[in-house]
Chains A and B, each alone.
Chain A
Amino acid sequence: MSAPLIWIVFPGIVAGLLYIIRRWRGAINIIGILVAILLAILAWRMPIGESFSLAGLAAIKIDQSLFIFGRRFILEDNIRSILILIYLGVAFWFGGASVSDSDRLFVPVGLGMAALLTAAIAVEPFLFAALIIEITALVSILILSPPGSSKHRGALRFLTFQTMGMPLILIAGWFLTGVETDPSDTDLILRVTALIGLGFALFMAIFPFHSWIPILTEETHLYAAAFVFFIIPQAVSLFLLIFLSRLTWFSAAPTVFATIRIMGMLMVLIGGIWAAFQSHLGRIMGYAAMMEIGFALLALSVLDPGFAAEGSDIVQGINLNTPLLGIFFAQFLPRLIGLAVWALALVIIRSRLGDLKFDAVQGGAYSLPIAAVSVVIATFSIAGMPLLAGFPVRVALYTALVEQSLLITLLSLIGVAGLLFAGFRTLAILLRKTELNGWHSTEKRSQILLLIFGWIILIIMGILPQFFLPALTELAGIFGSPVP
């Protein structure tokens, strides 16, 4: 038995089977959650590449690799923490699937996407991950444009950008062999850097290729859209980190980290300012998702070896100072919970009030108090308001960033101020008095329970970060070895 069989092939097969039995919605949701949790537990308990005894029975050894068409898919022992994160994250999203009235395809497609993204991490040579990310994007169309929907503009634009990004990365991958042969060829380095930059910009919805995000928030089911906003940029940013850690000459070029920093700042600034002037709750969430991509880029930019403190662990061209790399990983959980709570609350508001435009949601807090508070808490958490989950991570990020560029930090903070302003506007609109107002909660009990559970996690993570941050920052340890 090999690790790729367990964490790639098995969930892929289960996803296919769940698709076949999609008629039984309750069953597929439960099976999806259980399988995702099982895979996370297996990743936690089973070492890869070492013999271990299962329940006192015969010794078992899980091989690291699987060969398909002569190419290797490899999951090493140090990648287990990433596997736990992927499958627990997916299980968390599936937990809200039935409450959010997501399409029946959500769980099968979501599990399939998790399997594909695991394959993207495992494939050798790692540049082939671009092909697998493209296949993931293709699969995700099923949840972005579920049966019965006639609006496809956002989904098609998303697909177009992903399809255009993939060839650029693959061609750049071929050029890389030339750079390794002659690292002094500046023309070639410039060409490769441009190809890689454009490829990742298309993949990660970096400005100006972000337009599909706000369109999707108006066209599609918000819970599915938020899932895609979370999982695709997350996977691509991890791919970018692997890229930076393996291509020494690329990450050593002084412009690379500066470009990542500027792009990250632009995403946060533009996302925040546009969020501030939106009059549609879904679009505000879309721009916040765009800001999250910016924060991921900013977290990568602080690994710039040019700013490394004396004695830092500069390996393979990036500053592998674990606390700094830890910031990148520490963002995962607040982002996951924030987006999931926000999307779930918006789905509830849309289903009750019919639309998410400000005109339609005026005074909505009186009939949907839990959902309204959830939207505001999630907005403030993603903005990094004190006492909420996003705060400790943002503080760590800005502390590292300000040492590299005060201007970039200030401009990013302007973006954050924009999102905070959007949050206050949302609160004001939801609380605006109309003649019909009077407090009465109309959310279902399951919705209330799940949303309040989300608040509790967001608040606990904000007040007691010491309980979750160390576990997340330790994920940075996987980059301590040459092949993550």
Chain B
Amino acid sequence: MSSEILPIVAIILLSITSLSMLITTDWRISIVLISLQYVAVFLLVAISWPLQMAAVKLVAGWMAGAILGMAVISSPDVRNRLEDVPSGDKSNGNKSTWSTFVQKGSPFHLLAAGLVGITVYYLAPQLSEWIPEIRTIPALGGLILLGMGLLKLGFTDQPLMIILGLLTALAGFEIIYATLENSVLVAGLLAVINLGLALVGAYLLIAPDMESTE
């Protein structure tokens, strides 16, 4: 029973987290959301992989979140930059609590997310047809994350948000690819790429405040 419910819970969880990540501007919320998202990724990958290998995704994802969070916390300048300029909004004088957390133009983001949702809904069975090894639920999960990750990439120019978008899209791919390839080397390299993306994100956040080494 639980093995049937868990994937559905995972789909709901990653739908909520990826949608919230799309509209939020707050770095704390974004990092909490991506950490939750990796729980859903773990549940979906565990359908095809042994639990201990699927746990690599969870650990790598949480570590990626921790790396990004620590980069922001460690530097007051980075924190100020992220909190004062929410993606192009220069008028930060009288912001309501709501606008602190939610991006300007959220209805538009939600509309775009809705379009992605419809596309994914129709594409998931097609993907299962193309790749017989993949069941509809993981296909749905993978495509949701791919779509929402790409959408996030298109809506932002901030390093942290771009890295979160890349991690989201990559997580979507990993769910799909886990059904096709269970090589330990690939699992390891994908974990390295996840951590590498987080490290690059952290580096780009703090690079402007670092002393030039030239």
From A135, A146, A163, A164, give the contact of B214 (CB < 8 A): A146
Q: When chains A and B are docked, how far (Å) is the Cα of A166 from the Cα of B197?
A: 13
Q: Is the CB of B207 within 8 A of A135?
A: no
From B130, B131, B213, give the contact of A103 (CB < 8 A): B213
Interface residues of B in 179-214 (CB under 8 A from A): 180-181, 183-186, 188-190, 192-193, 196-197, 199-200, 203-204, 207-208, 210-214
Q: Is the CB of B186 within 8 A of A174?
A: no
Q: When chains A and B are docked, how far (Å) is the Cα of A464 from the Cα of B24?
A: 62
Q: Is B173 an interface residue (CB 8 A)?
A: yes
Q: Is A59 an interface residue (CB 8 A)?
A: no
B190, B196, B197 — most chain A CB neighbours (10 Å)? B196
Q: Is the CB of B177 within 8 A of A148?
A: no
Interface-facing stretch out of B13-21, B31-39, B162-170: B162-170
Q: Is B159 an interface residue (CB 8 A)?
A: yes
From A69, A147, A164, give the contact of B188 (CB < 8 A): A69
Q: Which residues of B contact A231 (CB under 8 A)?
A: none
B141-181 CB contact bits vs A (8 Å, 1 = yes)?
00000000000010001010010001001100100110011
Main secondary structure of the interface of B (DSSP, over half): helix
Q: Is the CB of A141 within 8 A of B200?
A: yes
Q: Which residues of A contact B190 (CB under 8 A)?
A: 131
Q: Is A101 an interface residue (CB 8 A)?
A: yes
Q: Is the CB of B207 within 8 A of A163?
A: no
Q: Is the CB of A104 within 8 A of B214?
A: yes
From A138, A142, A155, A170, give the contact of B197 (CB < 8 A): A138
- Beyond A69-B183, A128-B185, A191-B130, is A146–B170 a contact (Cβ under 8 Å)? no
- Beyond A70-B183, A104-B214, A132-B189, is A145–B166 a contact (Cβ under 8 Å)? no
Name the interface size band of chain A: 35 or more
Q: Which residues of B contact A155 (CB under 8 A)?
A: 204
Q: How far is the CB of B125 from chain A (nearest CB, A)?
A: 16
Q: Is A425 an interface residue (CB 8 A)?
A: no
Determine the residue in chain A with the shortest Cβ distance to B156.
Answer: A156
Q: When chains A and B are docked, how far (Å) is the Cα of A152 from the Cα of B205?
A: 10
B166, B169, B204, B214 — most chain A CB neighbours (10 Å)? B214
Determine the residue in chain B with the shortest Cβ distance to A131.
Answer: B189
Q: Is A68 an interface residue (CB 8 A)?
A: yes
Q: Is A134 an interface residue (CB 8 A)?
A: yes
Q: Is the CB of B166 within 8 A of A128?
A: no
Q: When chains A and B are docked, how far (Å) is the Cα of A171 from the Cα of B189?
A: 15
Q: Is the CB of B173 within 8 A of A167?
A: yes
Q: Which residues of A contact B186 (CB under 8 A)?
A: 128, 131, 170
From B131, B157, B162, B200, give the contact of A138 (CB < 8 A): B200
- Beyond A152-B159, A171-B176, is A163–B197 a contact (Cβ under 8 Å)? yes
Q: Which residues of B contact A167 (CB under 8 A)?
A: 170, 173, 177
Q: Is A184 an interface residue (CB 8 A)?
A: no
Q: When chains A and B are docked, how far (Å) is the Cα of A70 from the Cα of B212?
A: 42
Q: Is the CB of A174 within 8 A of B181?
A: yes
Number of interface residues of B (CB under 8 A): 36
Q: Is the CB of A138 within 8 A of B203?
A: no
Q: When chains A and B are docked, how far (Å) is the Cα of A356 from the Cα of B63?
A: 41
Q: Is A22 an interface residue (CB 8 A)?
A: yes
Q: How far is the CB of A448 from chain B (nearest CB, A)?
A: 21
Q: Is the CB of A101 within 8 A of B200?
A: no
A103-137 CB contact bits vs B (8 Å, 1 = yes)?
11100000000000000000000001001101100
Q: Is A159 an interface residue (CB 8 A)?
A: yes
Determine the residue in chain B with the shortest Cβ distance to A149.
Answer: B207
Q: When chains A and B are docked, how far (Å) is the Cα of A338 from the Cα of B7?
A: 55
Q: When chains A and B are docked, how far (Å) is the Cα of A141 from the Cα of B200?
A: 7
Determine the residue in chain B with the shortest Cβ distance to A174.
Answer: B180
Q: Which residues of A contact B193 (CB under 8 A)?
A: 131, 134-135, 138, 163, 166
Q: Is the CB of A156 within 8 A of B162?
A: yes
Q: When chains A and B are docked, how far (Å) is the Cα of A159 from the Cα of B173?
A: 16
Q: Which residues of B contact A141 (CB under 8 A)?
A: 200, 203-204
- Beyond A138-B200, A153-B157, A164-B169, is A147–B177 a contact (Cβ under 8 Å)? no
Q: Which residues of B contact A150 (CB under 8 A)?
A: 207-208
Q: Is the CB of B214 within 8 A of A159?
A: no
Q: Is A71 an interface residue (CB 8 A)?
A: yes
Q: When chains A and B are docked, how far (Å) is the Cα of A153 from the Cα of B204?
A: 10
Q: Is the CB of B130 within 8 A of A145?
A: no
Q: Which residues of A contact B208 (CB under 8 A)?
A: 148-150
Give me the 7 closest cross-chain CB pairs, A-B, nearest first.
Answer: A148-B212, A147-B210, A150-B208, A69-B185, A167-B173, A138-B196, A71-B185
Q: Could you show 13 A-B contacts with beta carbons less than 8 Å apart?
A: A69-B185, A71-B185, A103-B212, A104-B213, A128-B186, A134-B193, A141-B200, A147-B210, A147-B211, A147-B212, A164-B169, A171-B173, A174-B131
Binding site for A on B (CB under 8 A): 130-131, 153, 157, 159, 162, 166, 169-170, 173, 176-177, 180-181, 183-186, 188-190, 192-193, 196-197, 199-200, 203-204, 207-208, 210-214
Task: Other than A149-B208, A167-B173, give 20 A-B pairs with Cβ distance below 8 A.
Answer: A70-B183, A104-B214, A128-B186, A139-B196, A145-B203, A146-B214, A147-B212, A147-B213, A148-B211, A148-B212, A150-B208, A152-B159, A153-B157, A156-B157, A163-B197, A164-B169, A170-B177, A171-B173, A171-B180, A174-B180
